[in-house]
Amino acid sequence: MTDSGAKNQLWAGRSDGDVADITVRMGESISLDIQLYREDIRGSVAHARMLEGIGVLSAAERAAIEGGLRTIKAEIEAGNFPLRPELEDIHTHVENRLTELIGEAGKKLHTARSRNDQVAVDTHLFVRRASAELGAAITGLCDTLLERATQDQTREIVLPGYTHLQVAQPIRLSHHLLAHFWAFSRDINRFARAAETANDLPLGSGAMAGVNYATDREFLRRDLGFARIAPNSMDAVASRDHILDFLYACTVFMTHASRVSEELILWNSVEFAFISLPDALTTGSSIMPQKKNPDLAELTRGKTGRVQGNLVNLLTNIKSLPLTYNRDLQEDRFALLDSYAQTGMAIEALTAMMAGVVFHGERMRASLDRGFAQATDLADALVSERDVPFREAHHLVGALVRECVDAGTTLRKISAAARAGVSEYFADDEFFFRAVSLENSADKKVSYGGTGREALNQQIENAKHQRAADRAREWNAPDLEF
C-alpha cells in the first residue's frame, strides 16, 4: 500500500504526477518483474554504449552509467534494493536509482528508447536464457531416463502395456521408459524454437514508430548477441510471439510430465504396487501413519493446469489488442515468470523421482498374468503355426480366457486337461507355453520401434545418438555479464 499522494515525477509528462492509490496498486509490476533485473540492466548497458557511439553520451557519462548500473545490480543481488510500487516497474526503478547515484547523466540513458521496446528486449533476453536453462534441465531428465532404460534389470522386466487402462500386451520396461524419453526430447526442440523466436532484437523500435536518432541497431544486435534485428518497429513492441512459444513449450512439457506423474501415482498405489518411491520424495499423512504419499508427482500433475492456464491467459489477453503497445501486455510477465518457475520445479522433481524409483518386476508380471496379456499372441500362434483362421483362433482363445476366469487362474497356470477341453490345439505343452511366454510375447514385436529385444537395442542406440545431439545443441543464451 502506498500514499495516494505519491508522485512519479520520472514519468509524469503532461500529468502533475499526483497518482491515486488504485492507479499505483493496479499498475505496478515491480513485485514480479524485479526478476528481470539482469536482462534490464544488460539492455541498458548496451543502449548506453550505443549512445556513446552515436555521440549522445560522452565516454565519461557512459562509464558513469555502467558503473552505476553495476552498483544497482550488486544492490539487488544483495537484497539491498528497496522496491517502490509507485515507480511501477523494473525499468523505472533502475533509472530512478541510477539518477540518484550519478546525477544528470542518469537522465540521459532513456534517450532514443521507450519502455515499450525496453520491456520487449528484456523479455526476449529472458526467453533466450530461460529456454536454454530449461532445455538443458530436460536434457538431464532424458539422461536419467536413458540410464534407467539401459540397466540390465530394466531391460529384463516385462510389464503390462495398457490401452483404456486395461492390460493390453507385454512390453519391456525399458521400452516404456524410452517412450517418455522421446516425448521429452521433442520438448527440448520446442524450447529451442522459442529461443529462436526470441532472437530478433526489438530494442531501438522506440514506442512504436522508431526513434528520431540515427541509432546503431547493428551495434545493439552484436552487443546483446541477437541473430537478427526486428524488421518492423510496430510488430517489435506489440508482438509476444516469443513468450507464447515459450509458454507453449512449457505447457507441452508439463503435459508430458503430468502423464508420467499419473503413472507414478498409479504404480505407487497398493492396488498396482509396481514401484516404490524414495522416502525423501514422499510425505506422510497427518492422521494415517501408514501413508506414503507421492506428493511430488501429484504437485506436478496439479501445476500442469496452472501452466496451461498461463498460456491461455496470454492468448486471450492478446487476441483483441489493436497495434501496438497496450497496458494489457503487462500481464505477460506473470504468465512468463510463473511458467518458468513451475516448469523448472517439475523438471527437478521428475528427474529425482525417475532416478530414485524402485521397480517391482514380479508385481508387474503378476498383473500381466491376471490380465491375460498373452491372449493375442496365442491367437496369432494358432494362425501362424496351426493354420487356424484368425476369427476361429480369436474365438478359441476367448473361450480359454473365460475358462481361466471361471477357474480363478491364468493362462500360464490353467491345467492341461482344462486347456484340452477347450481345444486340442492347446493340449500341446511345448506349443502352448511358448505362445504364452511373457518374454516371447514381447520379443515377437520385431518391427522397428517395437518392444522386442533386438528392436529395443536399436532404439537404445538411437536414443544415445539423440542425447548426444541434444547435449551438443547451440542455445545462444545471452551473456548478461558486463
- Active-site residues, by number, are 164, 285
Of the candidates 262, 252, 263, the residue with the CA atom closest to the CA atom of residue 186? 252
Give me the residue label for grid cell 517502490. Answer: 84
d(CA 81, CA 381): 74
321 φ, ψ to 5°?
A: -85, 125
Amino acid occupying residue 78: A
Cell of 477: 543464451
**Other CB atoms within 10 Å distance of the CB of residue 147:** 14
**Other CB atoms within 10 Å distance of the CB of residue 427:** 14
The full length of the chain comes to: 482
Cis check: omega of the bond before 324, within 30 degrees of 0: yes
Q: What is the CA radius of gyration of the chain?
A: 30
**Spacing of C-alpha 443 from chain mean position:** 34
